Structure 1
Amino acid sequence: MHLFLNAIAASAASGFTYVRNVVPHLMRRPDVKSTVLTSELLRDEFSDTSNLKFLVAGEGWSAARRSWFEQRELPKLLHSSRADILISAGNFALRGSPVPQILLSGNALYFCDDFSHDLIRRHAYRAWVDLKIRAWLAKRSVHWSDCTVAPSQAFADKLRNRSSAEVVAVHHGFDEDLFKADNGPLPATLESKLAGGTGTLRLFCVSHYNYFRNFETTFRALSLAQKQLPTKKVQLLITCELKPSAETGSYDPRRAAVLVRQLGIEENVLQLGVVPYRFLHHVYKACDVYVTASYAETFAHPTLEAMSCELPIVASDLPVHQEICSNAALYFPRFSPELLAQRIVEIATTPALRTRMTKAGQDRIRDFSWKAHVDRLITIGTEMVARTRPTLRTIQNGSPVERQSDHLYTG
């Protein structure tokens, strides 16, 4: 089977992480030939092999230009590569694909009423319009594909509730060795920020600033937890800064910064800024509890990182959090700072609870494998090819003759 992975939409950190983890396992499948369409940035990290070839698309393309390229040029690339199946990463499918298509759908915002209402509440009307356009395309993409793959059962169920198309859940994996591979010294600025945490209850949240991570609920909970633990400093470490920047994009963090000042917790919020992935495990290990008040998720990869570093988790009660974290987390209603603070205090004051949760996390982390993820995708693709391989008609001596297709592409 020849698999074609369209990964040019992998432009954010999560997209890069996905491609970096999937490609090595495709290389290890000699029974599968793969072509990967990606950006120049990711292309430089890999070399072609006997069973895997890279194609490069333009770097830094807008969503509109990328979509135009996919709809106009991708069919030609599928034809020339003689691919049997297309895997479309990045939430949007190729309309009228000439070969069976698997869509990887992984953006909960396109299907999240909370996010839509949040944008209106913040008067972010341009972002709301953009969301509605993208959400329409994402929903249509589910119908354009032959099978949609979601990274969690919870998100798959949500997609099924909004579509009659075929949707299956295939968990993402986690490579603990890769995550903890860097044992070198930390950059001096990061090491300086992490110093001096003795006797402090450190909470950690990994995310660039955005609205759906629900920072405001976390900040209010931090203030409440500090009042309930007056003899101990409670500190929240975040991997962003509460000021407009290239990282925040269209999200405006100034309201969140004002809230921090109003709550009087400036000294309790440690703004690390962007932390390179290879250094993240050091930050986890410097903390005591991982917290996430997110109201929209499809997989919640940082919770796996937290489990790997033996941190108990306090997470909003989204079905996806409960699916991924299981007994490694305590849960709270996503917009309740009071109950988030209560869960934090429970862990801080109950050592036995913390021990049980970290043990549960160590057990749970073993259930997530990138090899299993890739193997499952290949199995789905193989079954689709077997179901849909057509009998084509060719011309010999002026007469039509039935023949079995070597490839699904019909020209």
Structure 2
Amino acid sequence: MVVGFRVALDARRIVGNRRGVGQYVWQLAKNLPAAAPGVEFLLLLDRILPEGSLPPGCRQVVVGRQHVTLSQSLSGLGSKVYSQYWMNVLVPRVLAAKKVSLFHATNFAVPLVSPCPVVVTIHDLIYARAPGAFESGYERYLSLMTPIAVRRADHVIADSEATRADLMSACRVVHDRISVIHLGVSDEFRPCNEPEYLKCVRATLKLPARFVLHVGAVERRKKLETLVEAAAPLLKSSIVDAVVLAGEAGFGSDAVWRAAEHLGIRDRVLHLGYVPQEMLPGLYNLALVLTLASAYEGFGMPILEAMACGTPTIVSDVSSLPEIAGDAALLVRPGDADGLSRALRSLVTDDCLRQEIRRRGLARAGVFTWQRTAEAHVDVYRRVMRRHPIRAQRTNV
């Protein structure tokens, strides 16, 4: 990539609790400078990062003010309206003033008019492939904005081949306009032999001895009622002590608690809420099994994090999950409680199977690195700027 180019990223999600998209942008910010020496990376934020937390090689630019919502509904309508103003009025001004060569819209939304080429990342098409996953108003919002984003962008990045196929089908994007770039897994996720750290995590999170884990928002598309039903026989026969759900409550979460209540295991389904990043490796290491038997996922980062920690995994056989898991996980149909229950029992009670899936998982996770992810992004940036040499102006630095 030519020295003197300046790339800006929508980095709003890296401030505060970093969920999936926040982790994606944060890891890009940490790894892009090494992948493209001499290129300046600007992180466009709506609030300042705490002192000392800015990744080396990046510069932050605060645009507007904090006025965002993480809710998957239209309840925060004012925040969503402001987000459109931020993206379509404030961001283009900054891109022009800073002589930005390329803008990376990291989470669906793009400016309708931009003074430089735009690359957009589309992480999933939940609204199209798992209807009912969000409130109806928010689904309509996504169904309107996502096709606009992919049409306006100069190039599209998808997290998986499954998402590329969804984009081609639902949004009629041609194959060559989409690059598939798998996400990575951080070095902090690894088998842990630090008893004091694990003891601290167990005590802080109040974890039982033997538990089945789910990491991610507690929401309708995750099919967690199925997990509760599948785990009930194992809980009642004391094969496991609890089901642990790590993630904030989202749309449809009430159905999970009702299912647990109905089955008489409400006190054995533990909801941790958001778990700080520094405790996640310990949580994975302490779990017997991770399950991600969702109706739809655009990637499925918890799979790789669990595998990297040596925790056996069970995933759905739909969307991106078989692509990411490879042969290193047990596959079940989403909504199949009996099948999931059999898979759980097998991994918990069959030590040979458990060790084999663990071995495969560790090998599989090693294929996915954030360095490779960043290098692939730089390759996309380079190709887009070569196609638009006039709009991708060099800076004077």
TM-score of the superposition, structure 2-length normalised? Answer: 0.85
Q: Give 2:386's aligned residue.
A: 386
User: Matches of 1:38 and 1:107 in 2, distance apart?
Assistant: 23
State the superposition RMSD in angstroms: 2.7
Shift of 1:341: 0.6
Query: Rg: which structure is higher?
Result: 1
User: Matches of 1:92 and 1:53 in 2, distance apart?
Assistant: 22
Superposition pairs for residues 1-400 of structure 1, below 5 Å? Answer: 1-8=5-12, 13-28=19-34, 29-40=36-47, 42=49, 44=51, 46-47=53-54, 52-57=58-63, 58-61=65-68, 62-112=79-129, 114=130, 116-117=131-132, 127-162=135-170, 163-165=172-174, 166-177=177-188, 185=197, 191=203, 194=206, 196-197=208-209, 200=210, 202-226=211-235, 230=237, 232-240=239-247, 247-248=248-249, 251-390=251-390
Shift of 1:107: 3.6
Amino acid at match of 1:98: P
Distance 1:138 1:42, change over 3 A: farther
Match of 1:5, SS state, is strand
Distance 1:295 1:406, change over 3 A: closer
Amino acid at match of 1:299: F
Shift of 1:18: 1.9
Distance 1:72 1:43, change over 3 A: farther
Whether the aligned pair in 1 keeps the contact of 2:117 and 2:392 (CA below 8 Å) is no
Shift of 1:44: 4.3
Whether the aligned pair in 2 keeps the contact of 1:182 and 1:279 (CA below 8 Å) is no
Provide, for residues 271-304 of structure 1, a one-character-per-residue CA deviation record: whole Å limited to 9, x for no partner: 3333211111112222111112211211111111
The 10-residue stretch of structure 1 (332-341 or 99-108) with the greater mean CA deviation from structure 2 = 99-108
Amino acid at match of 2:221: F
Whether the aligned pair in 1 keeps the contact of 2:308 and 2:366 (CA below 8 Å) is no
Shift of 1:78: 1.1
Q: Give 1:122's aligned residue.
A: none
Q: Give 2:76's aligned residue.
A: none
Amino acid at match of 2:354: R
Amino acid at match of 2:42: T
Match of 1:237, SS state, is strand
Shift of 1:180: 8.2
Structure 2 segments unaligned to the other structure (5+ residues): 69-78
User: Matches of 1:334 and 1:260 in 2, distance apart?
Assistant: 18
User: Matches of 2:192 and 2:354 in 1, distance apart?
Assistant: 26
Structure 1 segments unaligned to the other structure (5+ residues): 120-126, 241-246, 391-404
Distance 1:93 1:253, change over 3 A: same
User: Matches of 1:135 and 1:271 in 2, distance apart?
Assistant: 31
Whether the aligned pair in 2 keeps the contact of 1:203 and 1:291 (CA below 8 Å) is yes
Distance 1:45 1:301, change over 3 A: farther
TM-score of the superposition, structure 1-length normalised? Answer: 0.82
Whether the aligned pair in 2 keeps the contact of 1:43 and 1:54 (CA below 8 Å) is no
User: Matches of 2:193 and 2:60 in 1, distance apart?
Assistant: 27
Amino acid at match of 1:168: S
